């Protein structure tokens, strides 16, 4: 076989990678030990961080990409894909993660934004990106920039699922509202939500987002995870919810099973028994406006 026949970093490979994560749980971890616990519990991937979002909130200051040393430590500990976060618009942090060989980059509102006008031009990278969104317009703008996967923003580090629910209902509801419209009406709608017309038309035709759509931002229990799946998520990210709970190992396993059997209340009930305390959590309404992470990037 001739080497020039191989093609790397194509759209199909990026979106295909995201498809392989479906029905799975991606867990935030801060060291090799947590990564191994996540893998053993059945996580489909881990998100390598210096701090989980709940601790990023507490620490304050500027939150940046994790130390490459930390990311490499986690990559060496597990066989499942390793993701890591960059600040919104920080394309050099993204170049660094690509050079390290992480499997997917999360351009994340959990970190302090580096650019208030532009997101990273994700089409320039050979590894796939996931980005947060609160509604259909935001999701399609990210896909247009090259995101291979979308996730709800929710409100990270709160252990409160209400914002993830709001965002998932918004995205799914807006897609349902596209059904039965003429092409002309879809183009008009695209203008209203500031999204590319071809992606609005594609979403209408498919009855879903054109890429894999996960839920994130506040999932803290197996029932939270199963609810997001029933609302239409293809899988979930769990951030602080696992390693801020009383028994991370059991919580991790329980959420993995609840996502796989999200439509079977018997299973969700069984895995939810005796898990110990979930993370304490924050009432989103008590946050000051500058503490609300989902407003970052649009």
Partner 1 sequence: MDARIGVLALQGDVSEHIRAFEEALRAAGCNSPVVPVKKPEDLAPLDALAIPGGESTTISRLIEKNGMYQPLSEFEGGIFATCAGMVLMASEADDPRVRTLGRMDMHVARNAFGRQRESHEVRLDVAGLDSPFPAVFIRAPVATRVGSGVQALGAIDRGIVAVRQGKHMAFSFHPELVGDLRLHTLFLKHLGR
By annotation, the residues acting in catalysis are: 85
Residue 282, phi then psi, degrees to nearest 5 = -135, 135
Dihedral sign, Cα of residue 81, residue 113, residue 53, residue 165: negative
Residue closer to partner 1 by CB (options 112, 249) is 249
Which 81-120 positions form the footprint of partner 1 (CB under 8 A)?
A: 81, 98, 101-104
Q: Are 135 and 203 in contact (CB under 8 A)?
A: no
**Does 21 contact partner 1 by CB under 8 A?**
yes
Which 232-271 positions form the footprint of partner 1 (CB under 8 A)?
A: 256-257, 260-261, 264
Residue closer to partner 1 by CB (options 156, 225) is 225
Residue closer to partner 1 by CB (options 101, 173) is 101
Among positions 27, 35, 44, 175, the unique one binding partner 1 when judged by CB under 8 A: 44
Which 55-84 positions form the footprint of partner 1 (CB under 8 A)?
A: 75, 79-81
Strand order of the β-sheet with 25-29 is: 212-214, 149-152, 129-133, 104-108, 82-87, 45-48, 25-29, 236-238
Stretch that binds partner 1, among 12-20, 182-190, 244-252, 273-281 (CB under 8 A): 12-20
CB of residue 262 vs partner 1: minimum separation in angstroms? 11
**Does 45 contact partner 1 by CB under 8 A?**
yes
**Does 230 contact partner 1 by CB under 8 A?**
no
Cα separation, 198 vs 60, whole angstroms: 40
Among positions 59, 92, 115, 126, the unique one binding partner 1 when judged by CB under 8 A: 126
Cα separation, 64 vs 68, whole angstroms: 11
Residue closer to partner 1 by CB (options 41, 225) is 41
CB of residue 3 vs partner 1: minimum separation in angstroms? 10
Among positions 35, 39, 85, 181, the unique one binding partner 1 when judged by CB under 8 A: 39
Residue closer to partner 1 by CB (options 208, 296) is 208
**Does 17 contact partner 1 by CB under 8 A?**
yes
CB of residue 89 vs partner 1: minimum separation in angstroms? 22
Residues with Cβ < 8 Å from 275, sequence gap 6 or more? 221, 222, 245, 246, 247, 250, 251, 254
**Does 28 contact partner 1 by CB under 8 A?**
no
Terminal C-alpha separation, the chain? 45
Question: Other CB atoms closer than 10 Å to residue 67's CB: what's the count?
Answer: 11
Question: Tokens standing for 1?
Answer: 């076989």
The three-class DSSP label of residue 138 is helix
Cα separation, 66 vs 71, whole angstroms: 7
CA dihedral 222, 227, 230, 236 (to 10 degrees): -60
Among positions 128, 157, 217, 248, the unique one binding partner 1 when judged by CB under 8 A: 128
Question: Tokens standing for 214?
Answer: 């996960």
Please work out the total of residues on this chain that contact partner 1, with binding judged by CB under 8 A: 41
Q: Which residues bind partner 1 (CB under 8 A)?
A: 1, 5-10, 12-13, 16-17, 19-24, 39-45, 75, 79-81, 98, 101-104, 126-128, 256-257, 260-261, 264
């Amino acid at each position: 076989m001739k080497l020039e026949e191989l093609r790397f970093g194509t759209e199909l490979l990026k979106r295909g990678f995201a498809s392989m994560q479906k029905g799975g749980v991606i867990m935030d971890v801060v060291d090799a030990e947590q990564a191994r616990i996540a893998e053993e519990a059945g996580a489909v991937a881990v998100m390598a961080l210096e701090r989980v979002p709940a601790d990023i909130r507490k620490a304050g200051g500027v939150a940046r990409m994790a130390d490459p040393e930390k990311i490499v430590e986690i990559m060496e500990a597990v066989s499942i894909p390793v993701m890591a976060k960059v600040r919104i618009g920080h394309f050099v942090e993204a170049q660094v993660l690509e050079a390290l060989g992480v499997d997917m980059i999360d351009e994340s509102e959990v970190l302090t934004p580096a650019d208030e006008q532009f997101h990273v031009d994700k089409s320039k990278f050979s590894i796939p990106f996931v980005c947060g969104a609160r509604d259909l317009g935001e999701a399609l703008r990210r896909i247009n920039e090259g995101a291979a996967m979308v996730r709800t923003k929710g409100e990270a580090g709160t252990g409160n699922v209400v914002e993830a629910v709001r965002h998932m209902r918004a995205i799914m509801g807006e897609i349902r509202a596209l059904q039965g419209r003429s092409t002309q009406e879809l183009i008009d709608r695209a203008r209203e939500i500031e999204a590319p017309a071809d992606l609005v038309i594609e979403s209408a035709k498919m009855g879903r987002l054109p890429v894999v759509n996960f839920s994130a931002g506040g999932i803290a229990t197996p029932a939270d995870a199963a609810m997001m799946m029933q609302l239409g998520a293809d899988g979930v990210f769990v951030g602080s919810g696992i390693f801020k709970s009383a028994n991370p190992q059991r919580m991790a396993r329980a959420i993995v099973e609840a996502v796989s059997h999200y439509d079977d209340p018997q299973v969700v009930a069984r895995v939810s028994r005796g898990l110990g305390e979930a993370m304490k959590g924050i009432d989103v309404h008590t946050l000051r406006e500058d503490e609300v992470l989902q407003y970052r990037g649009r």
